[in-house]
A and B are shown apart, each in its own frame.
Chain A
């Protein structure tokens, strides 16, 4: 299957700072990537769809000015958590679809654990 990487895997920051998380498709190109957030013992929550060369599409209730997404190339999407606060502490996971037509499947990165102090 396809390989998706994320960096960093762990980040601890002070409240009010901004944190950038990278998501890369290593062996394929992805015009679309997805960003999820997962709180402890809860399911995945889709935050936004990252579109190469155009604006991201955010899910209802997700603040686009707080979670900045940039998809500048076919293999890289970035999520920047601006002015992070303790309630933003979570597990952030990206995914990218790969496969043929309607058999396309999403492959997940290993995730980034964010702790805001």
Chain B
């Protein structure tokens, strides 16, 4: 059973702080990793994708990938109340199905 694990939270940070979200995955052959943001009652929205070891930055978001340790993280700098949402980590299955395996999500709460 291929799995993606996330702490369900809630992770509570003050406005302006750095929020750190973590994810581990079981399939060592996975090559593509994604972070989605889901607001309550809405569908997931792609935030970041990462394919190589190291860091990838996009605005206030930085994704970090360590394939040897099988973990992916998402850092949100200068957190804003509007960042309060559930963040889903997703990993691509390396077969022909193009399926994504999702973690259960981490709920982030940014306190004003």
Q: Which residues of A contact B (CB under 8 A)?
A: 1, 32, 34, 42-44, 46, 49, 57, 91, 93, 97, 102-111
User: Which label, helix, strand, loop or mixed, suits the secondary structure of the A interface?
Assistant: strand
B97–chain A nearest beta-carbon distance, Å: 6
B43 and A43: CB pair below 8 A?
Answer: no
A43 and B45: CB pair below 8 A?
Answer: no
Size category of the binding interface on chain B: 20 to 34
7 contacts between A and B (CB under 8 A): A46-B99, A93-B43, A103-B32, A105-B32, A105-B46, A106-B90, A111-B43
B43 and A110: CB pair below 8 A?
Answer: yes
Interface string of B89-103 (1 = CB under 8 A from A): 010100001111011
A44 and B31: CB pair below 8 A?
Answer: no
Q: Which residues of B contact A (CB under 8 A)?
A: 31-32, 34, 36, 41-46, 49, 51, 88, 90, 92, 97-100, 102-105
B109–chain A nearest beta-carbon distance, Å: 15
Q: A43-B105, A44-B44 are in contact. Are A103 and B49 (CB under 8 A)?
A: yes
CA separation between A87 and B59, bound complex, in Å?
42
Q: Which residues of A contact B45 (CB under 8 A)?
A: 108
B32 and A111: CB pair below 8 A?
Answer: no
With beta carbons under 8 angstroms apart, the residue of B43, B46, B100 that contacts A1 is B46
B49 and A105: CB pair below 8 A?
Answer: yes
B108–chain A nearest beta-carbon distance, Å: 15
- Chain A residue nearest in CB terms to B46: A105
CA separation between A97 and B92, bound complex, in Å?
11
A39–chain B nearest beta-carbon distance, Å: 12
Q: Which residues of B contact A43 (CB under 8 A)?
A: 88, 102-105
Q: Which residues of B contact A57 (CB under 8 A)?
A: 97
Q: Which residues of B contact A32 (CB under 8 A)?
A: 97-98
Q: Which residues of A contact B34 (CB under 8 A)?
A: 105-106
Q: A34-B99, A43-B104, A49-B99 are in contact. Are A107 and B46 (CB under 8 A)?
A: yes
A49 and B32: CB pair below 8 A?
Answer: no
